[in-house]
Structure 1
Amino acid sequence: MARVFVYGTLKKGQPNYSRLFESRNGKAEFLASAFTTQKYPLVIAGKFNIPFLLNLPGQGHRVHGEIYKVDDQMLKFLDDFESVPTMYQRTMVELEVKEWMGKTDGEEKPSPGSIAEAFMYSTTTYQSEWPTLPSYESYDSYGDHGLNYVTREARD
């Protein structure tokens, strides 16, 4: 089992959240709400309004998201879904726990403010103007930015 930090369309209430719980993709269990210990630019870009976390540590905001425990099948699905390694890369990141809700498998439950590690999908391949786009600390496809995510089904 691996931990994965999601900050975009896979979060609760977002357009791709259900993909985490489609049994053919594998298993996922919500563990915690958290945010990155380092700042990163989280931008909405491209003609489909995709949230991209640019791998530019120290710029942008501490990004808010959710930690999930996933099995190998779900991790492979997420790698494919995030187009690893062409669009995104999966790297380990440190996160500050806001609230831990999941089981701990006999370990002590992490307290708010404690540090956890998880895989995160970020990109080093982006258009030159993306770092100048507005940066967000929390993504919401339906936010007042007016840049609603275009689902894969709607792109055809």
Structure 2
Amino acid sequence: MKGFSILSVIVSVFRAVHMEQIFVYGTLKKGQPNYFRMMDPDNGRAEFVAHARTVEQYPLVIATKNNIPFLLNVPGEGQRIQGEIYSVDQKMLKFLDEFESCPDLYQRTTVQLEVQDGLGEGENTLESGSFVNASVYSTTTYEPEWLQKPTYESYDAHGDHGLRYVRREDRSPE
């Protein structure tokens, strides 16, 4: 490997790692009960890219006895959802699929987003007002009455909705 330093080889390999953009809108956002899972290096790598909102409207509801936020895959209904875009490696993507019970409870689909700020660094920088596609965990499997529930533009576990999110660790067995 004449002419190559070990560092340049490591940097080249590091850049070759495929990163996927994920849009989170619920308990995985900063300041929410499961955000620590996004930042746990044992789960993989996640880098904040930008705040964004969906171009299309979707119903974001709080449902089940555990008050879980669900993005119902019903485009054109509800509100434009605000959340965060993260660039994640394959290890984190695998962890998130398991955490979100994908594909049984949630499905990972693609959604178009409008970037609200471009706070990412380096190659992760997105310009405010630009549009980008990212994966999102949404569900097509839900109780019919969920469509009658109030919808939210932005989820906050401590919001004025008064519905206390029950962490996975605190849930009673089904």
Normalising by structure 1, we get a TM-score of 0.96
Residue 161 of structure 2 is aligned to residue 145 of structure 1: yes
Q: Which has the larger radius of gyration?
A: 2
Within-5 A mapping of 1:57-96: 57-96=75-114
Number of residue pairs aligned between Structure 1 and Structure 2:
154
The separation in 2 between residues aligned to 1:49 and 1:74, in whole angstroms, is: 24
Q: Can you list the C-alpha shifts for 1:99-148, whole angstroms capped at 9, x where unaligned? A: 0111242x8x4321110111000000000100110000000000011001
1:132 and 2:148 aligned: yes
List alignment gaps of at least 5 residues for structure 2.
Answer: 1-18
Which residue, 12, 27, 43 being the options, matches 1:9? 27
Once residues 111 and 31 of structure 1 are traced to their aligned partners in structure 2, the CA distance between those partners, rounded to angstroms, is 10
Could you tell me which amino acid in structure 2 is paired with residue 78 of structure 1? L
Show structure 1 runs of 5+ residues with no match.
Answer: none
SS of the aligned residue for 1:90 comes to: strand
Find the counterpart in structure 2 of residue 18 from structure 1. Answer: 36
How many Å separate the matches in 2 of 1:119 and 1:88? 12
- Mapped to 1, the partners of 2:126 and 2:49 lie a distance apart of 10
1:38 aligns with 2:56: yes
User: Percent identity among equivalent residues?
Assistant: 60
Does 1:111 pair with 2:127? yes
Tell me the amino acid that sits aligned with residue 74 of structure 2.
L
In 1: Cα distance, 2:88 partner to 2:81 partner? 21
Structure 1: distance between partners of 2:84 and 2:60: 15
Amino acid at match of 2:82: H
Query: 2:138 aligned to 78, 97, 122, which one?
Result: 122
Q: Please report the TM-score for the alignment, with normalisation by the length of structure 2.
A: 0.86
Counterparts of 1:91 and 1:123, CA distance in 2: 9
More helix by share: 2
Where 1:100 maps in the other structure, the secondary structure is coil
Q: Tell which has more relative contact order, 1 or 2 (C-alpha 8 A, sep 6+).
A: 1
CA–CA separation in structure 1 for the residues paired with 2:122 and 2:112: 18
Partner of 1:3, secondary structure, is: strand
How far does residue 13 in structure 1 lie from its aligned partner after superposition? 0.5
Q: Which string of whole-angstrom CA distances, capped at 9 and with x for unpartnered residues, describes residues 8-35 of structure 1?
A: 0000100000000111100000000000
